[in-house]
Amino acid sequence: MSIATLAEVLQPAFKNGYAVAGLVTLGWEDMCAFVAAAEAENVPIILQAGPSCREHTPLPILGKMFRYLGENSSMPVVAHLDHGYTFEECKIALDCGFTSIMFDGSRKPLQENIDETAKIADLAHSVGVSCEGEIGFVGYSGGETSDGTKPEEAARFATETNIDAMAISVGNIHLQQKKEGGLDEDRIKSIETVSDVPLVIHGGSGVPLNQRIKLARNSKICKFNIGTELRMAFGNALRLSVNQDTKRFDRIQILKDTHDPLVQATRKVLSTLKQ
């Protein structure tokens, strides 16, 4: 299976009532586990390189890692730039083989966000790559507060940018460790009535499982970004491995112990979103 674009995996989800996981990666070990889980569950996945991942590993390396995994997987794999903040960063990702670009202009005034997102979407589409944009700001647990998406602004944003997917702020929060509160379903429905673009939930780890399942099947939300709960699974497995034998020092052997627990945790995530 060749590597896929975001549109290629989201449009079937949009039409058939399921969602695809955008899995936040930090290194080779979790990327491999995510692909193994996707193959076991027989579903496509989106491998995401966010800001913290890019601080650790340069975009040219990440692009090659993602593409290698996608080109050797039995399931479609999207190589996705998550939270690109500048035109230059997005262009570098395109040059490095990414098949999907998420430009985050959500902190900017509406017109500026529209103009910059549209420019990046045009660039991405010119080389056969998908583009995700964000309208309404999704905050961070213990940090910046959210600014909920206004349906009338979402309508303009979707139409004027020509994006392939639209990230929205409807009660979701980045970096939540517990599934608290839940999403504002009335706001989601209001956004759905004024746009016809696949919707994206950042901070999906904080969404209660029953609501995640319900929305994956009965709404236009076609992508849930999942990071924190899988980082916790990796960290717990790593901690257990280190503590089991304090004399071990070979990091390759230690990291191998994270694979199976992370595959298992990822399969649980993927199983809640598929048909």
Beta bridge partners of 77: 45
Kindly list the catalytic residues: 82
- At 89-129, the pLDDT tens digits run 999 999 999 999 999 999 999 999 999 999 999 999 999 99
Tell me the average pLDDT across 129-138.
93
Residue 255 CA: distances (Å) to CA of 36, 70, 174, 188, 228: 16, 22, 26, 40, 19
**Percent of the chain residues past pLDDT 90, beyond the cut:** 84
Beta bridge partners of 200: 167, 223
Report if pTM > 0.85. Answer: yes
Copy the structure tokens of residue 255. 């990291």
Residue 99 has a pLDDT of 98
Q: Which amino acid is at 14?
A: F
CA atoms within 13 A on the CB side of 120: 32
Residue 177 has a pLDDT of 65
Domains present along the chain, CATH in parentheses: 6-273 (3.20.20.70)
Range in 40-49, 91-100, 197-206 with the lowest mean pLDDT: 197-206
Residue 144 pLDDT > 70: no
Tell me the average pLDDT across 12-34.
97
- At 167-196, the pLDDT tens digits run 998 877 776 767 676 898 999 999 999 999
Q: Which amino acid is at 80?
A: H
